[in-house]
Amino acid sequence: MNKEQVLSEVLASGTLPTLAPVASKLVEISAREETTIADIAGLVAKDISLSAKVLKVVNSAFYSFPQKISTIHQAVSILGINAIRNLVFSFSFLGIEPSSSEDSFDYREFWTKSLAAAVSARLIVSRLKQKGIESEEIFIAGLLQNAGELFLARAFPGPYLETLARHSGQDGSLLEAEREVTGADHAFIGSEVFKTWRFPEVLWRPIRHHHSPREDSTADARAKFTTFVVHLSGVLADILYSPQPDALIKAFRARAKAVLRLSDADIDAIFESVHLEVNEAADYFGLKIAKTRSVAEILQQANAELSVLNLSYEQMNRELVQHKVRLETLTRELEEKNRILERLVHIDGLTEVYNHRFFQDFLGKELTRAMRHERPVSLVLVDIDHFKAFNDSYGHQVGDFILKEVCAVARQSLREHDIMARYGGEEFVFVLPETSAEGALKVAERVRQAVEEHRFTGDGGNYRVTMSLGVATMLPPGDSFKKNEFIGYADEALLQAKRRGRNRVEVFAPKTRWFGRK
């Protein structure tokens, strides 16, 4: 049979695993331009068990968000539709079980290596300077790159499973053997099945070419780059479970340097942390696997086996264990420092709300999404009234207390999917996704009133605090719309609120220039 005939037989065999209902529906609606955050959140939230799993991962060190995310709607608002879709895909595929008691395919080994490849792909991307590559897309492409093996094993049990056992870990040899036994290799079958299931091209294309990324002559530069990352993730996963990793390590280093321009320091950092990332990911996704060993331990054990005549078993084992303990201790310390640095990057140290840099990045992404779906987005610029005089009268310690307390009060009055950030000094900003001018005015007035009525009690004194707020709402007209223009509109509204007596909300209207709160 030729490969198209093999594909037809696989699709008609009735042995293909089925997607979970939510995952299947998600494939359908996420491809629609009109799909909104509410659509995605509502679909995922219908499956209570799946929602719990998604929220567990979102609130884990896998993402390291500074605040707890308590609802699926909030998770979709912050991560985006594609990231949530890919998490659902991950749980759906990692939950596939044997089709019958006669199914002898080694699912545990398969998902262990698949998860290792997914984590490796995400880790590699984190070290790259290439823009436009989504770590969540890379993760799911890495996870599913060898799914064709599963499809072929279920469609052609017996001879194919024997072939898989003989050639496991030998890419070129395995692909040739698959073509001889079935007429098609797992890379082709996997990508074509996912195309049939209407998976996006960004997922199925790397699966088709991950064993030979240079052969994809029709892809653009970004797609080729993505495919090569997936290719290297498979090599790194093989390193983690190979009894003879030396050649694979050399190949990984050479290809990562030549194509991805990774430095030795970057590659060493990947090798040092990949096993810990895999073990943590297995826990997040509920996959029960044996603890993955570090690359250093695997390599040292392989080298030790070559010199076993010169070392007693007890001595060799002691040295390996000691090395592993030292390496894992250093890795944990590095991870903790990285988490602290990540928090410093996104969070304002005094007020513990998002900082100016995070706000700029988030607003840019939100405007892009709003333009794509033609949905409104609102911005509220906030200034604490007479704060300089307040600081001069009571001192900076009281001023810092007021800033922190204002943020705590304001966040309680915002909705779960709204974002609050410190814009600078005593100025703050709220980003309100999918919110009309009328809705934004209500939110701003609610925050203003909550701060005005709050008793600020600290350092032996009671203080009265008010705020002025400027609201701008935009349904972006097209690609020419600028983020800085939007911020400028909110700033004009804030200035108008100050001119009109402070402790009020003003809304910017592009045509009439101004209208205020009732």
pLDDT at 300: 80
Burial of residue 220, with CB atoms counted within 10 A of its CB: 0-12 exposed, 13-18 middle, 19 or more buried: exposed
pLDDT at 216: 80
Task: Provide the CB-side half-sphere exposure for 276 (13 A, CA).
Answer: 20
Task: Please identify which residue in the block is written with the tokens 């194509």.
Answer: 259
186-196 helix and 201-209 helix, angle to the nearest 10 degrees: 170
For 237, residues 6+ apart whose C-beta sits below 8 A from its C-beta are 113, 114, 116, 117, 120
Residue 351 belongs to some domain of the structure: no
Do 116 and 263 lie in one domain? The reply is yes
Tokens of 74: 């909030």
What CA–CA distances, in Å, run from 299 to 215, 247, 314? Answer: 31, 11, 18
Residue 156 belongs to some domain of the structure: yes
pLDDT at 513: 41
Give CA–CA dist 491/489, Å, rounded. Answer: 5
- β-sheet with 513-516: strand ranges across: 419-424, 427-433, 377-384, 467-474, 505-509, 513-516
Do 379 and 235 lie in one domain? The reply is no
HEC readout, 196-214 = HCCCCHHHHHHHHHCCCHH
Do 11 and 87 lie in one domain? The reply is no
pLDDT at 518: 38
Do 216 and 318 lie in one domain? The reply is yes
Residue 217 belongs to some domain of the structure: yes
DSSP category for residue 61: T
Do 44 and 150 lie in one domain? The reply is no
pLDDT along the chain (518 residues), means of 10: 87 81 78 80 83 85 82 86 82 79 82 91 85 76 90 84 69 79 89 87 89 81 87 92 86 91 91 90 82 84 62 64 80 75 78 91 89 90 92 87 93 90 94 93 95 86 92 75 88 94 89 44
What total number of domains does the chain contain?
Answer: 3
Do 223 and 315 lie in one domain? The reply is yes
Give CA–CA dist 318/470, Å, rounded. Answer: 66
End of a domain among 283, 315, 344?
344
DSSP class per residue in 137-194: HHHHHHHHTTHHHHHHHHHSTTHHHHHHHHHTT-HHHHHHHHHHHTSS-HHHHHHHHH
Residue 350 belongs to some domain of the structure: no
pLDDT at 59: 86
Residue 349 belongs to some domain of the structure: no
End of a domain among 294, 314, 344?
344
Buried b (16+ CB within 10 A) or exposed e, 16-35: bbebbebbeebbeebeeeeb
End of a domain among 344, 374, 404?
344
Give CA–CA dist 237/298, Å, rounded. Answer: 12
Residue 8 identity (one-letter amino acid) = S
pLDDT at 483: 87
Domain CATH number, residue 466: 3.30.70.270
Do 203 and 280 lie in one domain? The reply is yes
pLDDT at 517: 47
Backbone angle region of 509, left / alpha / beta, with phi > 0 → left and psi within -120 to 50 → alpha: beta
- DSSP E strand boundaries for 251-374: none
pLDDT at 316: 62
pTM summary value:
0.57
Do 363 and 462 lie in one domain? The reply is yes
Do 380 and 328 lie in one domain? The reply is no
For 286, residues 6+ apart whose C-beta sits below 8 A from its C-beta are 53, 94
Do 324 and 295 lie in one domain? The reply is yes
Q: Are 421 and 429 in contact (CB under 8 A)?
A: yes
SS3 category, 434: coil
Tokens of 186: 């797992």
For 244, residues 6+ apart whose C-beta sits below 8 A from its C-beta are 302
Do 68 and 198 lie in one domain? The reply is no
Do 58 and 122 lie in one domain? The reply is no
Closest C-alpha to 225, from 134, 341, 291, 336: 134
Closest C-alpha to 204, from 188, 225, 228: 188
Burial of residue 388, with CB atoms counted within 10 A of its CB: 0-12 exposed, 13-18 middle, 19 or more buried: exposed
pLDDT at 168: 61
What CA–CA distances, in Å, run from 130 to 14, 220, 358, 420? Answer: 41, 14, 20, 29
Residue 512 belongs to some domain of the structure: yes
State the residue range of the domain holding 28: 18-95
| Neighbour tally for 395: CB within 10 Å | 12
Tokens of 322: 């000691």
Give CA–CA dist 185/466, Å, rounded. Answer: 68
DSSP category for residue 215: G
Give CA–CA dist 518/512, Å, rounded. Answer: 16
Domain CATH number, residue 220: 1.10.3210
Residue 35 belongs to some domain of the structure: yes
Residue 194 belongs to some domain of the structure: yes
